[in-house]
Amino acid sequence: MMAQQRFDRIVEYLTRHRAASVAELCVMTGASEPTIRRDLTELARQGCLRKVHGGAVAVRPLFEAQEADVHTRERLQVPQKDAIARYAAGMIQDDDLVFLDAGTTTLHMVEYLTDSKATFVTNGVACARRMVEQGLRAYVLGGLLKPRTQAVVGGVALGMLANYNFTKAFLGMNGISVERGYTTPDTEEACIKEKAVQRAFASYVLADSTKFGKASAITVCSLEQAHIITDYLPDEAYRQFTVIKEVQA
């Protein structure tokens, strides 16, 4: 394979997968490790990618304009979400006042909160129903219910959030990128997430590794404003901006 052909295949692969190790690229191109390392150096010089330890990542975040419905998202990355949720639930103390965002990973958290004496506030209908079934002390925000994500949004919900001083907030996001921060496709849901971050002493974004290097329409806040709990961090550059905990699925 000629050098330019390898360059094209490497850039195409990163466009689809957002990150790749040297070993992956060796298999994909049939080239040796020293050759791939030289290719990555040249492509980084051209601004086509960013080299990281052991591989490379795409330069620009992948933009996603639409969000899958909640039933579709429930079937994605299940082991990773469960591991992230289990770790996050273990951070909650009995005297905490906790905000749980509407989302599939936060819903997984509820399964590990059976004996918790903490107080919870959520804008997620599914979260609220499951918490009640488990006998947890839970408050639900009022407002407009979005059928696609089963999240409560709008001015009434924002007004209620303004009355709380959370010790911890746990949030889902559709995209995380160095350039755009934490992002989500919907303006109203972004406002709820942003307000929760503002009202919390500490905020945690629960995101599996597929969320990195992606950007949606609305930025919720910068990377510095929340910690991240993930199953795998594909790019060490993110550690320059916030605290990140990796947990095993």
The full set of domain ranges for the chain reads: 3-59, 70-246
* CATH annotation of 3-59: 1.10.10.10
* Rounded distance between C-alpha atoms, residue 173 and residue 220, angstroms: 9
pLDDT of residue 65: 56
Classify the C-alpha dihedral 203-87-102-214 as positive or negative: positive
CA–CA–CA angle 189, 74, 21 (5° rounding):
95
CA-based R_g, the chain, Å:
20
pLDDT in tens, 106-158: 999 999 999 999 999 999 999 999 999 999 999 999 999 988 888 999 999 99
- Tell me what pLDDT residue 122 has: 97
Percentage of the chain beyond pLDDT 90 is 61
Q: What is the dihedral of CA 79, 224, 172, 244, to 10 degrees?
A: 10
The highest-level CATH class for domain 70-246 is alpha beta
